[in-house]
């Protein structure tokens, strides 16, 4: 995609009187724009105006990083994000059926598992987990993300989760938005610096355990003991290499057990916190009622149906790893998703294009995990914020050559 700016400062050619035009045509090449008109009388086409055109290099791909441990909702988040841009996300056509890549009109999502340098056997032999940087090729990750950001296609490796092997590479063309999701998008400083926006899904141990059991026991037939053992085995590397990345994230979605039910250990009702860094270019944190204030809000009553234990929102400024942040919190779950519009109308800076867009998105994907609580709500809002950030970035880049000539 080239961004072209037309300089219209030329005055019209004085020898050329403009006949009453019936049609105006616009022709252009890389250097010039020509306006044509046709005269009503003669129907002859004549060039009446020519102007300079400047085309900048290919518009750079916007790069978004999404970090989380395995089974923490990255795929669900990606489905919500791509839906905000419209169109379905699908694996590359005619490619490896076990590809981890998802392509839609606007976005390409690549999974950083594809940069494992050791396959399943290699990790076993060397006694390392996939979370250990030694099992991943950060040089290649950096080179390829940079190349895509600069508009160059790459042959990206594929880690096959079915066989546990490294498969032949697949072609990745530069999209408008590249999302790199996985264990380490913010681990390597070089890769981190390429990110235009970053998100960390911070799922507390209790909740992670409940979700793992739900998926791996119910859907994949694993035993409770094997799930416990796998979480325990990953924990030291998770703490050392994955968790610290949240300090770099522009937005963190933290998922905790509810505080509305004393000593709850079911993990079904969740307290979800959206932690938004202040001062990030193109990203204005969402607020409730009054920006910068500290607010607790129980919306249950006439406009929102709430069964036990109810719903509580909180909002306010805070500090997170030494950074100034705004935090929006939701504890509890919605009984009726269509009533979410009541909550939406009290939130500001949510980057919607029309009234009720958050509610519409949530209703559209009511079957996705987390749709009745803050995980779905905040993932949807972050998706809208990313769309907004992308549109601002593109608009700024398109304006840049014009600004340069004006200066």
Ligand X SMILES: Nc1ncnc2c1ncn2[C@@H]1O[C@H](COP(=O)(O)OP(=O)(O)OP(=O)(O)O)[C@@H](O)[C@H]1O
Ligand Y SMILES: O=C(CO)[C@H](O)[C@H](O)COP(=O)(O)O
Among 64, 66, 72, 393, binds ligand X (CB under 6 A): 72
- Interacting span for ligand X (CB under 6 A) from 46-54, 137-145, 209-217, 280-288: 209-217
CB of 160 to ligand Y, least distance (A): 8
Radius of gyration of the chain (CA): 25
Phi/psi region, residue 310 (left: phi>0; alpha: psi -120 to 50; beta: rest), is left
Q: Say how far apart CA 345 and CA 356 lie, in whole Å.
A: 8
Q: Is 160 in the site for ligand X (CB under 6 A)?
A: no
Q: Say how far apart CA 195 and CA 198 lie, in whole Å.
A: 7
- From ligand X, ligand Y, none, interface partner of 214 (C-beta below 5 to 8 A by class): ligand X
Q: Say how far apart CA 345 and CA 362 lie, in whole Å.
A: 14
x-or-dash pattern for ligand Y, window 174-213, by CB under 6 A? ---------x------------------------------
CB of 180 to ligand Y, least distance (A): 13
- Interacting span for ligand X (CB under 6 A) from 207-215, 226-234, 337-345, 386-394: 207-215
Q: Is 114 in the site for ligand Y (CB under 6 A)?
A: no
* Angle at CA of residue 192, ends 105 and 400, nearest 5°: 60
CB closer to ligand Y out of 113 and 388: 113
Cβ-based burial of 271 (10 A; exposed 0-12, middle 13-18, buried ≥19): buried
Q: Say how far apart CA 371 and CA 375 lie, in whole Å.
A: 7
Q: Is 161 in the site for ligand Y (CB under 6 A)?
A: yes
Q: Is 164 in the site for ligand Y (CB under 6 A)?
A: yes
CB of 166 to ligand Y, least distance (A): 11
CB closer to ligand X out of 34 and 261: 261
Q: Is 68 in the site for ligand X (CB under 6 A)?
A: yes
CB of 218 to ligand X, least distance (A): 8
Q: Say how far apart CA 169 and CA 190 lie, in whole Å.
A: 23
CB closer to ligand Y out of 161 and 268: 161
Number of residues interacting with ligand X: please give it, by CB under 6 A. Answer: 14
- Are the C-beta atoms of 288 and 315 separated by less than 8 Å? yes
Number of residues interacting with ligand Y: please give it, by CB under 6 A. Answer: 7
Q: Which of 178, 171, 167, 190 is nearest to 113 (CA)?
A: 167
- Interacting span for ligand X (CB under 6 A) from 87-95, 187-195, 208-216, 341-349: 208-216
- From ligand Y, ligand X, none, interface partner of 344 (C-beta below 5 to 8 A by class): none
Q: Is 252 in the site for ligand X (CB under 6 A)?
A: no
Q: Is 214 in the site for ligand X (CB under 6 A)?
A: yes
Q: Say how far apart CA 370 and CA 357 lie, in whole Å.
A: 18
Long-range contacts of 339-347 (CB under 8 A, 24+ apart): 339/303, 339/304, 339/305, 340/377, 342/299, 342/303, 342/304, 343/299, 343/304, 343/313, 343/377, 346/288, 346/289, 346/297, 346/299, 347/286, 347/287, 347/288, 347/381
Binding footprint of ligand Y on the chain (CB under 6 A): 70, 113, 120, 130, 161, 164, 183
Binding footprint of ligand X on the chain (CB under 6 A): 68, 70-76, 211, 214-215, 369-370, 375
């Amino acid at each position: 995609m080239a961004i072209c700016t037309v300089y219209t400062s030329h005055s019209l050619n004085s020898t050329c009187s403009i006949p009453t035009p019936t049609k105006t045509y616009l022709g252009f090449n890389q250097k010039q724009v020509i306006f044509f008109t046709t005269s009503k009388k003669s129907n002859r086409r004549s060039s009446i105006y020519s102007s300079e055109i400047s085309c900048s290099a290919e518009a750079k791909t916007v790069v978004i990083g999404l970090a989380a441990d395995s089974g923490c909702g990255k795929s669900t988040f990606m489905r919500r994000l791509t839906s905000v841009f419209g169109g379905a996300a699908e694996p590359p056509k005619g490619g490896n059926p076990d590809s981890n890549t998802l392509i839609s009109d606007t976005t390409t999502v690549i999974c950083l598992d594809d940069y494992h340098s050791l396959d399943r056997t290699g990790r076993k032999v060397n006694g390392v987990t996939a979370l250990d940087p030694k099992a991943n090729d950060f040089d290649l990750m950096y080179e390829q993300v940079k190349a895509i950001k600069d508009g160059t296609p790459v042959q990206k490796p594929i880690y096959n989760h079915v066989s546990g092997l490294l498969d032949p590479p697949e072609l990745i063309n530069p999209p408008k938005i590249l999302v790199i999701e996985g264990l380490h998008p913010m681990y390597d400083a070089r890769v981190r610096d390429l990110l235009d926006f970053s998100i960390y899904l911070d799922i507390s141990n209790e909740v992670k355990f409940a979700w793992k059991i739900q998926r791996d026991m119910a859907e994949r037939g694993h035993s409770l003991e094997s799930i416990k053992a796998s979480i325990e085995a990953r924990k030291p590397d998770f703490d050392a290499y994955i968790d610290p990345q949240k300090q770099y994230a522009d937005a963190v979605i933290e998922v905790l057990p509810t505080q509305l039910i004393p000593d709850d250990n079911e993990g079904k009702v969740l307290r979800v916190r959206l932690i938004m860094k202040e001062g990030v270019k193109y990203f204005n944190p969402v607020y409730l009622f009054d920006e910068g204030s500290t607010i607790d809000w129980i919306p249950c009553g006439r406009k929102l149906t709430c069964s036990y234990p109810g719903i509580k929102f909180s909002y306010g400024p805070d500090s997170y790893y030494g950074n100034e942040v705004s935090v929006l919190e939701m504890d509890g779950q919605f009984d009726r998703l269509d009533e979410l519009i009541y909550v939406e109308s009290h939130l500001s800076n949510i980057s919607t294009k029309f009234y009720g867009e958050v509610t519409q998105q949530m209703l559209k994907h009511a079957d996705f995990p987390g749709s009745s609580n803050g995980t779905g709500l905040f993932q949807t809002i972050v998706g809208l914020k990313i769309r907004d950030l992308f549109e601002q970035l593109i608009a700024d880049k398109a304006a840049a050559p014009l600004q340069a000539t004006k200066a």
